[in-house]
Structure 1
Amino acid sequence: MKKQFIFAMLIAGGLFTASCEKKAATEEATATEQNASEGSAPVAANDPATNPNVTSQEAVNPNAPKPVMTFKETEYDFGTIKQDKKVEHTFTFTNTGKSPLVIESASASCGCTVPEWPKEPVAPGKTGSIKVVFDPAGKSGQTSKQITITANTDPQVNYLTIKTNITGSVPTAGAEGPVRL
């Protein structure tokens, strides 16, 4: 019984899909006929002039030179810091490519690390910076966080790393047993 029901559903789904495709083809043919009767050219779905979501062939050139993000440093060690104080570091980079560099996003491996990046394109030969703010609250010991930068570069993804040793007022168990707050 279940097999028959599933088989019936598959057939119904196939017929529905086929009717939708036929309807879309009929509507496109009707639009083409109307344009032809009016003396205008047919409207293409992938025409950049009529569809703003499609770029022209000239606009996308996979062989065009890409920007390159060259950092002064990709890793920074804050050393030993206190648990109650936010720290920040600015990573500087240069666009050593031949076209404008656009950073699409910068994200960190956790919410305690917040990167800020330039939203405007960085011209070839120019420099930019990514500021990273780290909040050590609630953490202790050796910590390493990674920042992932996605851009129109080659390679498309670049990584930055911050490291630190966090000390602070994290209660520890002593000779008398656990600490109660």
Structure 2
Amino acid sequence: MKKVMILLSAICLISLSSCKEDATAKIDSGNVAEAAERDAKSNKLPVITFDKKEHDFGEIISGTPQETVFTYTNTGEAPLVITDIKSTCGCTVPKDWSREPLAVGESDKFTVKFNGKGANKTSKVINITANTATGKESVKITAFIKPDPNAPKPAANTNLGPVTQ
């Protein structure tokens, strides 16, 4: 068994050292320049800059729908592509956003609708998936939701417990 291992090792050593060509001679300088240019371009990414990162609706009555617009600008060095905008819950709906590439220096916007339901201080995060360095950006909406004074009051509990005889 030792002889077989020594023989296999010798064959591997001979085959690895028998290459007479220099590997650097096979490199095409045109390909190197093309790769360097491609790598330089790949480091240029879009940057999304918002007019505001948070919108506060202030005090609102429960159930009162609200709407705001977030405006953003591509301040990076490559076209910006937003692939998705989602909210953390179904009560907040982002809409009217473009899926087309946004050139450097150009601006666009999207609308966020909030159904206004809830109680007390509430905040919702809207996540933006884009081709930025992090791949994910976010904005936030907040509101203080007061109870509706015109809402029907819950019926008082008249059940005082079991009747004993």
Q: Specify the SS of the correspondent of 1:115.
A: strand
Residues 172, 122 of structure 1: alpha-carbon distance in 2 compared, 3 angstrom cutoff: same
Partner of 2:101: 121
Distance (Å, rounded) in 2 between the aligned partners of 1:178 and 1:124: 63
Partner of 1:99: 78
Partner of 1:148: 127
Q: What's the % identity of the aligned pairs?
A: 38
Partner of 2:54: 75
Q: State the Cα deviation string for residues 87-141 of structure 1 (Å, max 9, x = none).
A: 111111110011111101011010000012222111100001121100023x121
Flag the structure with more relative contact order, 1 or 2, with Cα contacts below 8 A and sequence separation at least 6: 2
Query: Is contact 1:109-1:147 (8 Å) kept?
Result: yes
Query: Is contact 1:100-1:122 (8 Å) kept?
Result: yes
The alpha-carbon deviation at position 178 of structure 1 amounts to 5.3
Please provide the CA RMSD for this pair: 2.5
The alpha-carbon deviation at position 177 of structure 1 amounts to 4.8
**Alignment map for 1:1-181 (pairs within 5 Å):** 63-116=42-95, 117-137=97-117, 139-169=118-148, 177=156
The alpha-carbon deviation at position 168 of structure 1 amounts to 2.9
Structure number, greater radius of gyration: 2
Q: Specify the SS of the correspondent of 2:68.
A: strand
Q: Which runs of 5+ in 2 are unaligned?
A: 1-34, 159-165
Distance (Å, rounded) in 1 between the aligned partners of 2:62 and 2:116: 5
State the TM-score, normalizing by the size of structure 2. Answer: 0.64
What amino acid is the match of 1:125? G
Number of aligned residue pairs: 118
Query: Is contact 1:106-1:115 (8 Å) kept?
Result: yes
Q: Specify the SS of the correspondent of 1:73.
A: coil
State the TM-score, normalizing by the size of structure 1. Answer: 0.58
Distance (Å, rounded) in 2 between the aligned partners of 1:133 and 1:65: 33
Following TM superposition, the consecutive aligned residue runs of length 4 or more in structure 1 with deviations greater than 4 angstroms are: 170-173, 176-179
The alpha-carbon deviation at position 69 of structure 1 amounts to 0.2
What amino acid is the match of 2:68? H
Partner of 1:8: none
Residues 178, 71 of structure 1: alpha-carbon distance in 2 compared, 3 angstrom cutoff: farther
What amino acid is the match of 2:81? V
